[in-house]
Amino acid sequence: MKPYELPAWRLREELAKGNIGVDEYVGSIFDRIERLEKALNTYITLRSREELETDVREAIRNDGKLAGVLVAVKDNIHVEDLPVTCGSRMLSNYIAPYNATVVERLVAEGAVVIGKTNMDEFAMGSTGETSAYGATRNPWDTDRVPGGSSSGSAAALAAGLATLALGSDTGGSIRLPASWTGLYGLKPSYGLVSRFGLVAYADSLEQIGPMARNTRDLALLLDVIAGFDPHDATSIREKPRGLLEAIEKGYSEELRGHRIVLVKDFLSHPGVDKAVKSILTEAASLLERLGAEVVEAELGNKVVDYALPAYYVIAMAEASSNLARYDGVRYGPKEPPRPWESWNEYYSRIRAKYFGTEVKMRIMLGSWMLSAGYRDQYYIRALKLRRLVRDQLLSLLKESDALLLPSAVTLPPRLGEVIDDPEKMYALDLANVLANLAGLPAITVPISRVAGIPMGVQLLGNYLSEPRLLRIAAALESATGLRDLVAEP
């Protein structure tokens, strides 16, 4: 294995023992970047090779859990002194004045941030194409999108341009790109990972989470970033124990005693491709072979169909309020004072010019849905549906350890295929928004190649059941052998 292909846990050992030189590791990643970045467009900001070599050399002096490992960070997470563009022209001149808590935790364990990854503008999108910095391409098939909104994190990791990556997941933005690029991705339980230093899109739904090429790395990265943070009012004090032990169990023991519900609604849903349905049943038989009991059950009550509109109403409502701060005064490009009639005119000019189309549409729809007269019809109704989704998921989880469902419901679209049709683009999130609405953890696991792309399925668990999800994912990883995959575009 070349250094750029190595899992983080092993790389850390090899660097510490001196079996792999710092310049050899950083050089191996930079060779990939020089060869592939132009075609893939994964980074918005990339630090220099010299700086990184110095930092990695420094980092491997102490024995942190990620000592010397290069981590790609989505560009909506603050890394001190680097730009945080959020994929938007609105923040093209904004430099992070501090580190997000997750970044502090990474640095404390010796990880080194390699750069900031491309993403859909303000994390609004499912394909990576709404970025103001150009679309990212899928390294398994460069005619296709990698999925969004953590598009650059997924593509960089899948192509060997980083060893680990952070994404954020408001409605699938970690899991969708992970399941289209052969990666493992996890959306943590709401409150487990601090959001301090994450630029807010829809706070009640989103979490920062890990992306990796194998489950042990995934657990390691989660273990480092999870934990209480007084700077985030929604941060919780508990942290599930045994995240890493869960992986060892998954690798070495059977899943006997585990009961998994295959969510039947997706098997008959017209929005789910045939190929995805067969991956789902393939995953179910793998789980059975591993000793788990798999039963089919329905969420019913049209939960799956209601979840998507409920998600988009809540997400747009929260976005309209969160993005009000980009007014060209506190944040955003400052325009030289031309004569203007009012501040309103100034704000409008800035916002019209520097926000992209998808973002503007969501701000307008979100404000409208919250306005007097429409609030009850849209926002309040969406909150009720959110409760229904949560209740139904929890009732299936009462009798089981995890739910098995799709993550991506189709193959990754080709560039340009869905971007002009919001309904088509939103439909890609069908299976992913459930976990966000309910605040529950969910993990994606690659199962099988379709058209050359290692496609994943999703396991959704009870609140703080991350160790159990990781154990099941690790068992599946052993069974499929789909680990440490690096695409050769």
Please check whether residue 80 is in contact with residue 117, taking contact to mean a CB–CB distance below 8 angstroms.
Answer: no
The alpha-carbon radius of gyration of the chain (Å, integer) is 21
Active site members: 74, 149, 173
Report the alpha-carbon distance of residue 207 to residue 174 in Å, rounded.
Answer: 10
Nearer to ligand GLN, 138 or 214 (CB): 138
Shortest Cβ distance from residue 297 to ligand GLN (Å)?
26
Q: Under the rule (CB under 6 A), what is the footprint of ligand GLN? A: 123-126, 149, 169-173, 201, 315, 429
Shorter beta-carbon distance to ligand GLN: residue 245 or 420: 420
User: Shortest approach of ligand GLN to residue 152 CB, angstroms?
Assistant: 13
Q: Provide the minimum distance between the beta carbon of 205 and ligand GLN in the complex, in angstroms, as a whole number.
A: 8
Phi, psi torsion values for 64, nearest 5 degrees = -60, 160
Closest residue to ligand GLN using C-beta atoms: 173
Cβ atoms < 10 Å from Cβ of 348: 14
Question: DSSP 3-state assignment of 122?
Answer: helix
Question: How far is the C-alpha of 48 from the C-alpha of 181, rounded, in Å?
Answer: 26
Q: Which is nearer to ligand GLN, 31 or 203 (CB)?
A: 203
Q: Which helix (H) or strand (E) holds 133?
A: none
Give the CB-side neighbour count of residue 343, counting CA atoms within 13 A: 3
Backbone angles phi, psi at 28, to 5 degrees: -65, -40
Residue 429 beta carbon to ligand GLN: minimum distance, rounded to whole angstroms: 5
Nearer to ligand GLN, 173 or 458 (CB): 173
To ligand GLN, the closest distance from the beta carbon of 163 in angstroms equals 23
> Cα–Cα distance between 55 and 460 in angstroms, integer?
37
Q: Is the dihedral of CA 344, 347, 352, 357 positive or negative?
A: negative
Residue ranges in 159-263 assigned as alpha helix (H): 175-180, 215-225, 243-252
Nearer to ligand GLN, 15 or 102 (CB): 102
Look at the block and give the residue holding tokens 């790609």. Answer: 72
